[in-house]
Amino acid sequence: MSRLVQQFNLRAPIVQAPMAGVSTVELAAAISNAGGIGSLGLGHVDVETARAQIQQLQQATSGPININFFCHQPETTNQERELHWLYLLTEYFKEFNASVPTRLGEGYASAWNNPPLIEMLCATKPTIVSFHFGLPEATALQRLQEAGIQVWGCATNFTEAKFLEHAGVDAIIAQGVEAGGHRGIFNPLIDSALPLSSLLAQLKLPVQIPVIAAGGIMTGAAIAAAQVLGADLAQLGTAFIACPESAADEAYKAALLSQRAYDTAITPVFSGRPARGLRNRMHEQIHPMRADLPAYPVAYNAAKALHQAASATGNSDFAAHWAGQGAPLARALPASQLFTELCHEYAQAKSNYCSA
């Protein structure tokens, strides 16, 4: 039995990925109540909204919960670059008879140097707080852990993992290049693009703290395989998008359950940072212009405005439909039922490993 399974008294070594904008209180509660770890991605909302959602989740479950935030290093605003990017997108807005935004505004706040966020987390005390794109300052980590909160960080390569371990996190989320959504890379210009199996192999001996495998995991057999490779737990995101409890809209779920699921690609043009999703016109037509892209997360405002203009006409060609390479295995089941099926598959796979 893995360390984290025992510590959190889990029915199976499953973490539902945070998925900001897709995960909901209902989805996270269903997974925690079923015997896994439910998660909320709250980096896209303000501190008070995050507080309210954490409290709602705590009222809905007594199980362990994971709350996730972005921790990017804020970049200097470049208005000239932002206006140029909007100019390049003009023809796409015109296609839907929509006005081009006059400015991009600010993006999501980072957990870096964010005392109000840390204060709120220390007050609400979720079981786990995890960070994407890096870690907040050492004093923030210390405060969270002194409040009894586990801190997890995301790593996409050996160097990032060792940095997280030396920083004192309680566990590392090892994100393979197969994963849907944003790559957890610290530096958006440097990506080793390691598949999950290679990443786990690199971390198995040098890293002494628990590792959570993430990237393309959709079945109980894949969870068992990740444990064989050294993971304590497996984090599944795309697997839960088609569940009725997720906030994904019908166009997103339909695309995920169609032939389009076989074609995912990574591009930075949605937000300013590389992210994997179902291939669409953003990948095919906007991606070639990426040299002029504004910084994360300001660029997100342009993509969201374009998607809003397109979706008003029933067009989802510019939507950020995040999905990992395991997307063709998605199942449209209630979250608790899917969790039970994953448990059965996992138990069967473990049995097969033991008898082999």
Percentage, residues of the chain above pLDDT 70:
99
In a domain, 91, yes or no: no
Residue 356 predicted with pLDDT over 70: no
In a domain, 198, yes or no: yes
Please answer whether residues 195 and 234 qualify as being in contact, where contact means their C-beta atoms are separated by less than 8 angstroms: no
Residues 218-239 have pLDDT tens digits of: 999 999 999 999 999 999 999 9
In a domain, 294, yes or no: no
Residues 308-339 have pLDDT tens digits of: 999 999 999 999 999 999 999 999 999 999 99
In a domain, 320, yes or no: no
Residues 14-57 have pLDDT tens digits of: 999 999 999 999 999 999 999 999 999 999 999 999 999 999 99
Give CA–CA dist 20/17, Å, rounded.
9
In a domain, 10, yes or no: yes
Residue 355 predicted with pLDDT over 70: no
Smallest CA-to-CA distance from 301 within 37, 44, 12 is with 44
Buried b / exposed e over 220-240, threshold 16 CB at 10 Å, is: bbbbbbbbebbbbbbbbbbbb
In a domain, 101, yes or no: no
Q: How distant, in Å, are the alpha carbons of 91, 98, 240, 261, 310 from that of 307? A: 14, 11, 23, 20, 5
User: What CATH code is carried by the domain that includes residue 339?
Assistant: 3.20.20.70
Number of compact structural domains in the chain: 1
What's the pTM value of the predicted model, to 2 decimals?
0.96
In a domain, 235, yes or no: yes
In a domain, 49, yes or no: yes
What integer is the mean pLDDT of 158-168?
98
First to last CA, the chain: 19
Smallest CA-to-CA distance from 213 within 205, 223, 204 is with 223
Q: What domain range includes position 184? A: 3-74+110-257+330-355
Residue 115 predicted with pLDDT over 80: yes
Write the Ramachandran bin of 216: left for phi over 0, alpha for psi from -120 to 50, otherwise beta. left
Residues 261-292 have pLDDT tens digits of: 999 999 999 999 999 999 999 999 999 999 99
Percentage, residues of the chain above pLDDT 90:
94
Written as one letter, the residue type at 311 is S
